[in-house]
Structure formats: structure tokens, C-alpha cells
Amino acid sequence: MAWDVERTKRLLLDAATAEFSEHGLAGARIDRIAANAGVNKERIYQYFGKKDELFATVLGTQLRSTMDAVPMIGAGPAAAGDYAGRLFDHHIAEATIPRLVFWEGLERGESAAADAARAEYHRVKVEGFQKLLPGVDRRDAAELLLTIVTLVNAWPVLGHLDALLVGADDAAADRRAARRASIVQTVELLAEAALRRSPGGDRSGADRRDPPGVQG
């Protein structure tokens, strides 16, 4: 059989993504990644380097694919809420990212903040989000975006807290829908408040979705 390097790389990256998402950096097992990929583990070291380099590759890949999959559309508080809602949906269908993000925060805190590529990625994201709420201060936009990212990513990770707080008697789908609605409402309220704070944004606040879309 012919060698297919890209295929083995992809197999390894997929297996690594699942493994890191499930077990984190310390808990992930190189042997398990290799076995699930059906590839010898020595390939990992040749293609991706050490364990934590592989982790960084996995996370970077996932973040990029999310930004493509969930674009920011339109403008105004409703658009911001809509963006948060779609991000929520995306992270429910694929809990990989939320878990990876929190694993990173817990296991690699400092070193992640120093990554130049990551800084650029987030700069672009804040910039895009600012276009969603025209006139809003950069710091305000970043703060709101952080709230969104936090709320949207935390839920799949803290699912047990939800069950514990709301009560396990409610069906999972209902709790999920309630959570989604709550997050969208939160973001809309915050976006309105931010617009009201912005220069020239002291009119009633809602329904300002006329400007052209940003992406998609």
C-alpha cells in the first residue's frame, strides 16, 4: 500500500483532538491516541513533536475551524445575541472546543497567554465583534465578548452544575433550551447597555440591525 502522509496526519490529529478533549493534557495518553488512529505512536513525535506541542496544534486547528463555522452576521444587540446563540449551538453539537479551552486555562494558563498566533486570532475576533456593535469602545466590546465566550463555553463543561442547580428532573433538552435563551437574553441586555454607553448611542437602544453584515 502506498504511503499517505496527509491521511495519517489527519487520523492522528483527529484521535488527538478526541483524546485531549476527553482527558486533557495530563490525562491524555499518547499510546491511546496512536491506537485509536491506527498508527504507530512514533509518528506523533515525527509529525507533531512532544505532547504539549500536539495539544497546541489541536487547539489552534479547532479554534480556526470554529471561527469559520460560526460567523458574525449583521449588527445591533439582536445580532450579538444571535451570534452567542449560534456559538452555543455549535458548542453543544461539538463539546470539543469548550473542553479544550478550559483544559488549556487550567493546565497551561501562563504559556497560552504568551502565544503570538493566539493573540492575533483574538485580536481579529474582537475587531469583528466591534463591527457588530458600531460605536462601542474596544474595551467594552472585548469585555462583552469575554462574557459571551465564558457563558457559551462553560455550559458543556459545567453540565453537572446545571443538573444540580436546576434539578435533574427537568429533561436535558429543556435545560439546554432554557440555558440558550438565558444566554441570548443576557447578551442582548449587555449589548444594549454598551450601545447606550457609547458616544451617540443614547437613543432607545434596540433594533439597529441595518448596517451590512460583517462576515457570511
Partner DNA sequence: AAGATTTCCAACTGAACGGTTGTAATCGAA
Partner DNA sequence: TTCGATTACAACCGTTCAGTTGGAAATCTT
Cell of 25: 493534557
Q: Does 111 bind DNA (CB under 7 A)?
A: no
- For residue 178, the number of C-alpha atoms closer than 13 Å in the C-beta half-sphere is 12
Residue window 172-211: x/- pattern of binding to a second copy, with contact defined by CB under 8 A: ------xx--xx-xx--xx--x------------------
Helix (H) or strand (E) holding 181: helix 172-197
**Residue from 10, 40, 69, 124 binding DNA (CB under 7 A):** 40
- The label of the residue with cell 437574553 reads 185
Q: Is the dihedral of CA 61, 62, 63, 64 positive or negative?
A: positive
**Residue from 14, 18, 22, 30 binding DNA (CB under 7 A):** 30
Q: Does 41 bind DNA (CB under 7 A)?
A: yes
Q: Least Å distance between CB 150 and DNA? A: 29
Contacts of residue 149, defined as CB under 8 A and 6 or more positions apart, other chains included, come to 87, 101
Rounded CA separation 201/195 (Å):
5
Restricted to residues 90-109, the positions that interact with a second copy (CB under 8 A) are 99, 101-109
Using CA atoms in the order 165, 169, 170, 173, what is the torsion angle rounded to 10 degrees? 100
Q: Least Å distance between CB 4 and a second copy? A: 33
Residue closer to DNA (CB basis): 2 or 173:
2
Residue window 180-199: x/- pattern of binding to DNA, with contact defined by CB under 7 A: --------------------
Residue closer to a second copy (CB basis): 7 or 29:
29
Cell of 71: 460567523
Rounded CA separation 216/210 (Å):
16
Rounded CA separation 188/164 (Å):
27
Three-state SS for 8? Answer: helix
Residue closer to a second copy (CB basis): 36 or 186:
186
Residue closer to DNA (CB basis): 23 or 118:
23
Rounded CA separation 210/128 (Å):
16
Binding partner of residue 4 among DNA, a second copy, none, CB cut-off 5 to 8 Å per kind: DNA
Q: Which residues bind DNA (CB under 7 A)?
A: 1-5, 8, 28-32, 39-43, 45-46, 50-51
Q: Which residues bind a second copy (CB under 8 A)?
A: 23-27, 99, 101-110, 112-113, 118-119, 122, 125-126, 139, 142-147, 149-151, 154-155, 157-168, 170, 178-179, 182-183, 185-186, 189-190, 193
